[in-house]
Structure 1
């Protein structure tokens, strides 16, 4: 610490100590003056010409206690009654002022309590708003069905097709009700999107796929056909020179994610059903802070994507090409 700073700190400490000692002295003088005044008032009230002893003080207090009912009756009943009789108008005005003062005091006290309660509520609301803002939560919807009460598929499609968006990442189960069939919410949006598309679907024929099919009440063969239909849709996009990649996972479906440059669409595959369209949808926006939910779910998608590197979805070969290759191979088969 340099010398000027030390001097300032010492002067501040000295001034604080001096003020504290001075206040103690002034407070002592005030208490002494109050005691002398109280003693003088007692002497005048009881017409004393000396400082009362302990026994005298006790006797005087006992006398005052016995005379208290008469004193109360005199000041609270007799004198107010005489004042009302002698000065009715003035007494009425005073009474009204007293009533108004009491009512105003009650109202002010109640208003103060309400304001304190509102302040507490607003403080809690500000804290909740700050927490939601940091997390990036934009909204929650009761389900993902395409109707007025469901999640905003139209807004999601508009966001996918916005010039600022460069990718769409989808983590799902069979994909058929998301993009795989005509009429699915993202079917046309992916057709018109020219950015990078990554899709992760459940491994066809796996134990987990069969378990999910049973949970939603669908025959496992039909569920597998739905996955293949979604893959066919991806293959069609790939054959049209779209940037499309796909991989399979073999675990139990948990999160359903649709990720763009600025938003994550989040749902959860509840064990034992129901269909994911019946589960709530959370919309999470990108935030400046790296611990927002957008960044965390993006990391989760990337983690699953890297873990599924050994199970790519074959998108380069169309079903027609595969059929021609098979026919050619059969034609060259030795007899």
Structure 2
């Protein structure tokens, strides 16, 4: 193996940092011990019980208009989706600790700069919008910043799950391209005219070994795609539904804020445009990279 370049070392550090963030948000089991899995699960369950009880209390004690009902609906959808991800990750990590076999897709040892750049390009606007939300808390209404505070961990977790899925698919696509390139090179060598090396007795044995190695690689890639579908299939469906609801609600709030001429609404307009941009970017990127996978294997 050749030593990694500085760019590859930086790329690997970025992907490892993403992996640590996924572990914090309970999106990756990462072969943690059982006590840590239980502590992490209990902590998130306590947080969600507190949010749901408070939402029910506020809904009973106050008169909710359309804006209030939309925020309660998004709070329940986002927190429930993250709770599902936390529960599925806990079950997966508990099962892995029993079987003592890696059951998660682990390609964060990769060092491809394009994957790391894509991750940074998607994380930068995501955390930028959250910074705008936190910096505008003094100028926001109480119910608005309470809504952002309650949904901040869950909404970040759902977006991080999308980013994780994209990075996984990109890395597997890179491996598929390399395997197809090796297959094309082998086909050209076998279809060319007979050079002197082809008269050697061990030539066919070497080519048979290369064909078997390519076959094993394609089987491994197929297994990787199956594991990605198992790990992200249901969660992606839930996240897309939640993102669609978030897209519609933020579009409605953006339309309402644009109609008002108050200068204090400028920050709110930028925040909602940022939410819409992030949701559209992540959904379109996930669909585009999935289509790239389909094109590569078809």
Please tell me the TM-score bracket, short chain as reference: under 0.3
TM-score for the superposition, normalised by structure 1: 0.18
TM-score for the superposition, normalised by structure 2: 0.20
Please identify the structure whose Cα radius of gyration is greater: 1
- In proportion to residue count, which structure has more helix? 2
- In proportion to residue count, which structure has more strand? 1
